[in-house]
Amino acid sequence: MAERIPALDIARGVAILGTLATNIWIFSHPEGMFGYLNSPVTADLPAWQGWLEKVLQQLANGKFLGLLTLMFGIGLAIQADAAARRGLRWPGSYLWRALLLFLDGLLNYLLVFDVLMGYAVTGAIVAYLLATSPRSQRVWFTVTAGVHIALILFITAGLLSGQARLGSGEPLQPNPYRDGSWWDLVVLRWQNPGLFRFEPVLILAGSIALFLAGAWLHRNGVFGAHGRVLRRRLMLIGAVALGADLGLGLADPDWMPLTRWVVSPVVAAGLLALIVELVGSREPGWAGRRLAEVGRVALSAYIVQNIIASILFHGWGFDLGAFGSPWRTAVSISGWVAICALVVLGAHLWLRRFRRGPVEWLWNRGYEALSRSDRGRTAAHPSGVAGWAAEARPFRSSCT
């Protein structure tokens, strides 16, 4: 079994719980995603409370999504490197994993909430890119990052000039988030893929660049003792980016595309470096161990926290999203804390008895079944494939 990297698990746990810090404001909005795009901050709040919401949302927005994307790239690089050490073909049967992740994401999207479908498509593309030369990977990174930044700058310019706007500006009538059933929300997501699946398509080029950046960071020792200079540079750049992110985001909400999809991933790289530097080579403390446990069951934790949030905030559940001004701030913060506590406790109790999370276990069994056909075809391959398990071993140390 591959040796675990504590900082890797902790960073993944931080990313999972951090994404909820962004999404909680969507869950808690009385009109859900539609209302959040029209007005992220609760209307008619006292000035201090409105600024508190703005700061909290800006601190979370995009940073943990960027960190999670980097972690996926790192996980992909770990698997590719492990396959190379064993003389296995790459991407080989990894594509089965990407397919399973896509199907899992599709189901999760329809039933609850999701970013996994975009990661599945990006992973399948980057898996082939990691089989090319380092020079080719640098070219792909430069091209995809350039296309992504140009696109986001174009959108941001449209918002700042008044030629474009986020959201429809029209309230939902009737409002399925308050008055509808769980099935009504499933139908809503099914009928509005352009809204709910817009982001993964928009940032595909940027996601490819971040996956490649994560792979580069891993292969250049960001987790190793010799990577201290690299980590310090990343922390410095990330701190500067965080200042720019807060300055732009708090000054005008129309800067959101630039801060969320361009500046925040830079902050995320600095955050990753900070986590690795804080963990170091010593044994993690109590908080570090709990975060690492969440990271070990990241897929299960991500799905469970979205399910709990849906039950708490939507009308078919406890309907906490009905609390508008002035209670939404306190309800959102309390909800995030409570859900994080439940996820952390659940991960701890589960891993006391099982090696993998429930979704990870089911996903691994599906991968085993799908890859059986590959075993017969690859058994006689000159690169020497000893079966699916050889490729599956890096699973516990990877994000995907």
Question: Residue 81 and residue 97: Cα distance in Å, rounded?
Answer: 16
Question: Residue 104 and residue 183: Cα distance in Å, rounded?
Answer: 18
pLDDT in tens, 247-282: 999 999 999 999 999 999 999 999 999 999 999 878
Lowest mean per-residue pLDDT among 79-93, 141-155, 228-242: 79-93
Which of 167, 277, 300 has its CA nearest to residue 221? Answer: 277
pLDDT in tens, 163-181: 888 776 677 788 999 999 9
pLDDT greater than 80 at residue 229: yes
Question: Residue 226 and residue 221: Cα distance in Å, rounded?
Answer: 7
pLDDT of residue 124: 96
Looking at per-residue pLDDT, the higher value among 158 and 390 belongs to: 158
Q: Check residue 284 and give left, alpha or beta (phi > 0: left; psi -120 to 50: alpha).
A: beta
pLDDT of residue 220: 95
How does residue 4 score in pLDDT terms, banded at 50, 70 and 90?
Answer: confident
How does residue 213 score in pLDDT terms, banded at 50, 70 and 90?
Answer: very high
- Prior bond of 46 cis (ω within 30°): no
pLDDT of residue 203: 96
Q: What letter does residue 192 receive in the DSSP assignment?
A: -
pLDDT of residue 388: 23
pLDDT of residue 194: 84
pLDDT in tens, 48-60: 999 999 999 999 9
Q: Is 345 helix (H, G, I), strand (E, B) or coil?
A: helix
pLDDT of residue 397: 36
- Prior bond of 265 cis (ω within 30°): no
Summary mean pLDDT of the chain: 89
Question: Residue 331 and residue 172: Cα distance in Å, rounded?
Answer: 22
The arithmetic mean of pLDDT across residues 21-27, rounded, is: 96
Looking at per-residue pLDDT, the higher value among 247 and 388 belongs to: 247
Our CA dihedral for 323, 248, 72, 206, rounded to 10 degrees, sits at: 120
Question: Residue 302 and residue 16: Cα distance in Å, rounded?
Answer: 6
The arithmetic mean of pLDDT across residues 195-208, rounded, is: 93
pLDDT in tens, 326-360: 899 999 999 999 999 999 999 999 999 999 999 99
How does residue 3 score in pLDDT terms, banded at 50, 70 and 90?
Answer: low
Which of 9, 48, 1 has its CA nearest to residue 223? Answer: 9
Q: Among positive and negative, which fits the CA dihedral 222, 122, 98, 303?
A: positive
Give the tokens for residue 42. 């609760």
pLDDT of residue 392: 32
pLDDT of residue 378: 39
Q: How far apart are the first and last CA of the chain?
A: 16
Using a pLDDT cut of 70, give the percent of the chain over it: 92
pLDDT in tens, 138-169: 999 999 999 999 999 999 999 999 888 877 66
pLDDT greater than 60 at residue 398: no
Give the tokens for residue 161. 């000039």
DSSP codes joined into one string, 257-324: HHIIIIIHHHHHHHHHHHHHHHHTTSPP-HHHHHHHHHHHTHHHHHHHHHHHHHHHHSTTTT-GGG--
